[in-house]
Structure 1
Amino acid sequence: MASNKPAPEAPSRFGSDFTTEYRTETVADFGTEGFGETDRAWEEWNPTEDSVRPVRGRHRVAKQRNGLARSSTVLGVGVIAAVGAGGMATAQSKPPVSISLPDSIADNLPDAKSLPGVSAFFSGESADQADARAAVAPLTSAGITTAEAEQGATDAGEALRARILQQAEQQQNAADSEAKEAEEKAAAEKAAAEAKKKQDAAEAKVTAEKKKAEEEAKAKAEAARLAKLAASYAIPTSSYTITSTFGEAGSMWSSGYHTGLDFAAPTGTPIKAIHTGTIKSAGWSGSYGYRTVLELEDGTELWFCHQSSIDVTVGQKVTTGETIGRVGATGNVTGPHLHLEVHTPDGTGIDPMTWLRDKGLTV
């Protein structure tokens, strides 16, 4: 029956005992000098069960001697150690490079001095002192400001929660402030509107009172003017009754309507000059009977008709209230009365009652 024999070991120029010792020394001394030409001059064949493809027949993988796995693992560790040492040596020989961060990130970073084991780089304390202080300070206090520590925050999560609550409170205060400002603005606008309304009402009241006062003053002034005129004008007779007014229609008047104002009074009642003026004519005048014409300074003529007698002459100056004749029934009449007519300077007849009232007289 055939059996598989162990595979022969790879030949070495140094022998089996020398190979193990040389490999160990080479790995230990490799960290700072790297690979030498002597190291690359030999190669060792270390087949394993994973690296050797299984074959059919009598061939088998040889077991490793002395429990050592001669593989590329040890060589890889040496390479890593050499590269790391070379990198540290290179980093120590280069000048430091400054690193800047945006303000938005730098402002939110925790104070480096507050981090356990880091403050030694920023102070004069020794590494042992920094390690001792780091051992006392819990890692959960990293990122906690001095103010937060004074407020009792000892946990990073608690500090974050406190910051969130503080931010929420600030936002709520800002919202309350905006709402308060809006309410104050609305109240101010309402107060301004009410004040304007009151001001408008007060101004309207003042305007009305002013207008009323002006009207009263105007009426008073007119009354004073009329009173002054009344002092210079007089009713033509007394104990009278108005029987016919200006403009009345009738067949008894030749013009078809009444051209004057009739004061019915007993015969012989004195007739007075209405205003100061000059006697323009005095005598018989047909249907008017005995008539006296008084011309005023502005050219207005006053006709006194149907007199029973005349007491003035042409060209005579008379004053207000002076007797110029007497009531009678001469001419075309139905009874004793004074027929008064008023003519403007151009000769147009107007309503005597209106003219007398304009002079402040009450008829």
Structure 2
Amino acid sequence: MASNRPAPEFSGFSADSADGGLGVERESWEEWNPTEESVRPVRGRHRVARQRGGLARSSTVLGVGVIAAVGAGGIATAQGGKPAVHLSMPDLSAVKDSLPEAASLPGVGALISDGPGSGSSGATTAAAPLTSVGTGQSGAGEALRARIMQQAETQADAADAKAQAAAEEAAAQKAAADAKAKREKAEADAAAEKKKAEEEAKKKAEAERLAKLAKSFKLPVASYTLTGTFGQPGSMWSSGYHTGLDFAASTGTPIYAIHGGTVTEAGWAGAYGYRTVLTLDDGTELWFCHQSSMNVSVGQKVSTGDVIGRVGATGNVTGAHLHLEVHPGGDATGVDPAAWLRDKGLTP
């Protein structure tokens, strides 16, 4: 009678299988020729025939599926934080009697053995009890808490870094603003000092100029009283206002040449009485009017301080005085003699 070849033994489970991490390491199978004695008629659908003197293949598959389910349930509980899965295990005594090789399988031997562990090689295989499937819940909670705390610390560190960066930027901006303000203040102070120095230098130069001019210019009368100023309105003047500066003095008081120049006129001039016109080198004409007598003639050159005539009351006057007019460039319209004298360093 022909007999079937025995099925190859399992060498163990493979961790990289797709069956929940507990796949079976498969070996190559040889061809199996069934006989009448080993094959029974199939009644109904999905019936699996049993081998003589052994456990059906479906029992082995069932045991492996149970282990895979238990492992998958533990992994899902650890990852998702779900409550422990309570499973009711079938009676596996038949597995022990019909499939002695199952005792050598990792994890399965501990379930079907009477003692702490057994196997074909005598090695003890430790297996976690089913009640330990749900113990991953606390570990997952701790892991989640640790992740939350780490994320909070990371966010706090980022906020602190951002605040520190903002504070540093604000400090840098304030320092730049302070430096700019100090620089602008220093520049303003330097400009003010420079302007002050320039003004002082200008005043000094002007004073030196006036002092020098004062040596070359002289007031026309030594002792006098100002009785009429330039622009003073009145009906006694044909133009409606006073066109010169009046130095009241006694008749015969000497009249001095204000500056060196050339006598261009000397004689009677109607309402001006006896008048002497002294033309300076820059073309300015000085009119000395109402003289009682004249000491120069036309074309004569005089120097500063020379006596050119004497105070009188000739022409249209109300008393003895010197009427002085200044005509820059010989213009008919004169300027204020007092201002002109001050510009020459003299104070009338």
**Shorter-chain TM-score tier:** 0.5 to 0.7
Which stretch shows the higher mean deviation, 344-353 or 164-173?
164-173
Change (3 A) 1:238 1:29: same
Could you say what secondary structure the match of 2:259 adopts?
A: coil
User: Residues of 2 paired with 1:343 and 1:281: CA distance?
Assistant: 14
Could you say what secondary structure the match of 2:339 adopts?
A: helix
What are the superposed Cα offsets for residues 306-361 of structure 1, whole Å, 9 maximum, x if unpaired?
Answer: 22222222221111111111112222222111111122334323122222222222
What are the superposed Cα offsets for residues 108-156 of structure 1, whole Å, 9 maximum, x if unpaired?
Answer: xxxxxxxxxxxxxxxxxxxxxxx99x99xxxxxxxxxxxxxxxxxxx99
What are the superposed Cα offsets for residues 74-100 of structure 1, whole Å, 9 maximum, x if unpaired?
Answer: 37957689x9xxxxxxxxxxxxxxxxx
User: Residues of 1 paired with 2:311 and 2:146: CA distance?
Assistant: 118
Match for residue 303 of structure 1? 287
Q: CA deviation at 1:167?
A: 6.2
Could you say what secondary structure the match of 2:282 adopts?
A: coil
Q: CA deviation at 1:173?
A: 3.4
The yes-or-no answer on 1:74 pairing with 2:71 is no
Please, what TM-score do these two structures have when normalized by structure 1?
0.58
Q: Report if the CA contact (8 A) 1:341-1:349 is conserved.
A: no
Q: CA deviation at 1:206?
A: 2.6
Please, what TM-score do these two structures have when normalized by structure 2?
0.60
Match for residue 293 of structure 1? 277
Q: How do residues 3-152 of structure 1 correspond to structure 2 at under 5 angstroms?
A: 26=4, 29-31=6-8, 33-36=30-33, 39=35, 44=40, 72-74=49-51
Partner residue of 1:277 out of 236, 261, 273: 261
4+ residue runs of structure 1 moved beyond 6 angstroms? 78-81, 155-164
Percent of aligned pairs with the same amino acid: 62
> Quick check: which has more Rg, 1 or 2?
1
Q: CA deviation at 1:157?
A: 8.9
Q: CA deviation at 1:249?
A: 3.1
Residue segments in structure 1 that go unaligned for 5+ positions in a row:
1-13, 15-21, 52-70, 84-130, 136-154
Partner residue of 1:352 out of 329, 337, 340: 337
Match for residue 251 of structure 1? 235
Which stretch shows the higher mean deviation, 282-291 or 297-306?
282-291
Match for residue 267 of structure 1? 251
Which stretch shows the higher mean deviation, 168-177 or 316-325?
168-177
Q: CA deviation at 1:162?
A: 6.7
Change (3 A) 1:41 1:158: closer
Q: CA deviation at 1:287?
A: 2.8
Could you say what secondary structure the match of 1:339 adopts?
A: strand
User: Residues of 2 paired with 1:254 and 1:161: CA distance?
Assistant: 113
Match for residue 225 of structure 2? 241
Aligned-pair Cα RMSD in Å: 3.9
Match for residue 109 of structure 2? none
User: Residues of 2 paired with 1:186 and 1:78: CA distance?
Assistant: 81
Match for residue 208 of structure 1? 192
User: Residues of 2 paired with 1:166 and 1:349: CA distance?
Assistant: 98
Could you say what secondary structure the match of 1:292 adopts?
A: strand
- For this pair of structures, how many residues does the alignment match? 253
Q: CA deviation at 1:281?
A: 2.2
Match for residue 339 of structure 1? 323
User: Residues of 2 paired with 1:260 and 1:341: CA distance?
Assistant: 5
Q: Report if the CA contact (8 A) 1:30-1:78 is conserved.
A: no
Q: Report if the CA contact (8 A) 1:273-1:318 is conserved.
A: yes
